[in-house]
């Protein structure tokens, strides 16, 4: 027990000690009203008493500073012994947990941080977010996107297929691309076309049953975009992606398109940008070519519009889809996609 030779300070001490024991963040005691009021009142003391009163208040403050230092030292010693790979211990004494949190606060995952930025760029262009499903069916994954039955392109996606059928006889599966949302979004929003356009983006987690290496994950993130209206042109598609990529990488990149094939767009393209790392000169990121294929895109196939109940003779539009992980890797020079799902704290802390 500490003793103070001034009654006011002594009662403040007893009050602060109680408060200290209850605080999660012990350092808050130094900013408590009781203590700051005492410190402020030093100057109002009569001359004869001021020096002694001031010394006692400062001794009170130092007492709590010492207590905080002791607690911090104990926590650091404890942290050194903690096996962070051990399962979460829900029985850990509650009063000890906040100290741990003070030293190792969580943060938003880098994919989510970047996704916020990506969404805000598209929001400014008038695109609204729709949510993705993480369990879908083969109708939305393939049939609604104009994949012919038994077409070999269906095999390109290495789907995780469930044995169950839904009540309409469709196979359930973990979606391998966010395009599986196109039919739903078009159908749900088709009445918008009476007065305006459909402008939606769909970020989501997708799954592929493939071998994992530095460039491939079984679980990753994509962003789908759909724009449908009247007299939409390829020029609209290209300028939308150009604006987005220039904004996201915060530099003026060069672009070109190259022909590709997706059953749900016609014509289909790979959107190619100059390497943001070497500005087109050639480096490891772009395999010395100076160019990076970054987004698959095209004009939405009339069959896809018609299947969703949109008259393809009156309306048309474009769609695109690309990996969010890949964009983030390009932006920060991350060489291994597996870091994102690894739970490695040293990696995650760099994005705090």
| Contact residues for Zn ion, defined by CB under 5 A | 275, 277-278, 283, 285-286
C-alpha 330/C-alpha 118 separation (Å) is 14
Cβ closer to Zn ion: 207 or 277? 277
CB of 284 to Zn ion, least distance (A): 7
CB of 259 to Zn ion, least distance (A): 23
C-alpha 323/C-alpha 342 separation (Å) is 18
Cβ closer to Zn ion: 54 or 282? 282
CB of 273 to Zn ion, least distance (A): 11
The CB density around residue 175, as the number of other CB atoms within 10 Å, is 25
Position of minimal CB gap to Zn ion: 275
Instruction: Give the residue among 215, 150, 208 at the shortest CA–CA distance from 178.
Output: 208
Cis peptide before 65 (omega within 30 of 0): no
Say if CB 17 and CB 40 are below 8 A apart: no
CB of 245 to Zn ion, least distance (A): 15
H-only helix segments in 198-336: 234-249, 302-307, 324-332
CB of 268 to Zn ion, least distance (A): 25
Cβ closer to Zn ion: 122 or 277? 277
**What is the dihedral sign for C-alpha 109, 111, 113, 115?**
negative
Residue 11 has which token pair? 């009662």
CB of 350 to Zn ion, least distance (A): 22
Instruction: Give the residue among 132, 309, 127 at the shortest CA–CA distance from 236.
Output: 127
Say if CB 204 and CB 112 are below 8 A apart: no
C-alpha 225/C-alpha 127 separation (Å) is 8
Cβ closer to Zn ion: 125 or 278? 278
Cβ closer to Zn ion: 199 or 286? 286
Cβ closer to Zn ion: 54 or 290? 290
CB of 287 to Zn ion, least distance (A): 8
Residue 3 has which token pair? 């003793």
Cβ closer to Zn ion: 63 or 255? 255
Phi, psi at 336, each rounded to 5°? -135, 115
């Amino acid at each position: 027990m500490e003793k103070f030779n001034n009654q006011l300070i002594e009662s403040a001490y007893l009050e602060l000690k109680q408060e200290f024991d209850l605080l999660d963040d012990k350092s808050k005691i130094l900013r408590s009203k009781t203590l700051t009021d005492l410190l402020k009142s030093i100057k109002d003391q009569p001359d004869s008493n001021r020096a002694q009163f001031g010394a006692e208040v400062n001794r009170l403050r130092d007492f709590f500073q010492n207590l905080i230092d002791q607690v911090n030292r104990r926590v650091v010693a404890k942290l050194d012994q903690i096996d962070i790979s051990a399962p979460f211990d829900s029985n850990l004494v509650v009063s000890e947990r906040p100290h741990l949190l003070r030293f190792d606060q969580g943060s938003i995952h880098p994919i989510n941080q970047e996704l916020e930025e990506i969404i805000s760029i598209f929001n400014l262009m008038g695109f609204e977010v729709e949510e993705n499903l993480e369990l879908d069916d083969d109708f939305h994954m393939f049939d609604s996107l104009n994949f012919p039955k038994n077409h070999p392109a269906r095999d390109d996606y290495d789907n995780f297929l469930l044995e169950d059928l839904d009540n309409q006889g469709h196979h359930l599966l973990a979606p391998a691309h966010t395009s599986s949302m196109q039919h739903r979004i078009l159908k749900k929003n088709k009445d918008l076309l009476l007065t305006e356009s459909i402008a939606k983006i769909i970020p989501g987690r997708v799954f592929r049953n493939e071998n994992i290496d530095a460039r491939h994950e079984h679980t990753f993130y994509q962003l789908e975009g759909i724009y449908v209206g009247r007299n939409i042109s390829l020029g609209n598609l290209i300028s939308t992606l150009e604006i987005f990529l220039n904004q996201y990488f915060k530099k003026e990149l060069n672009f070109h398109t190259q022909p590709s094939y997706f059953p749900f767009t016609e014509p289909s393209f790979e959107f190619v940008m100059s390497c943001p790392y070497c500005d087109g000169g050639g480096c490891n990121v772009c395999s010395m070519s100076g160019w990076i294929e970054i987004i698959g895109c095209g004009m939405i196939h009339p069959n896809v519009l018609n299947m969703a109940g949109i008259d393809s003779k009156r309306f048309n539009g474009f769609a695109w889809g690309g990996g969010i992980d890949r964009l983030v890797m390009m932006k920060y020079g991350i060489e291994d996609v597996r870091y994102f799902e690894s739970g490695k704290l040293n990696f995650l802390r760099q994005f705090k």
